[in-house]
Amino acid sequence: MTIQRRELYRSSNGDRWRLARDIESGEVFVRHEANLASGGQRTHIEIGAFLSQGGHGPEHQKLLRLIGMLVEE
């Protein structure tokens, strides 16, 4: 499986959120990578689920801005 990633947001505590795409399946999702102090676990989150989890954090706002860039003239 080949995954392309683009960083959306990195928090001050080291957590990272990336927009990711599986090249083979075409699936697009958000990957959350917890900081090492929290165990460094990676979580695969479907985009709709990610945006419905509150959608007010800076990581959500970065994704929404990126999506908005797709329709700018």
pLDDT of 73 above 70:
no
pTM of the model: 0.85
Percent of the chain with pLDDT over 70: 96
* Average of per-residue pLDDT across 13-36: 96
* Average of per-residue pLDDT across 7-18: 96
Q: Is 44 helix (H, G, I), strand (E, B) or coil?
A: strand
Domain chopping of the chain, boundaries: 3-69
Q: How does pLDDT run across 40-71, given as a tens digit for each residue? A: 999 999 999 999 987 689 999 999 999 999 88
CA 64 – CA 25 distance, rounded (Å): 23
DSSP alpha helices (H): ranges in 15-70? 47-52, 58-69
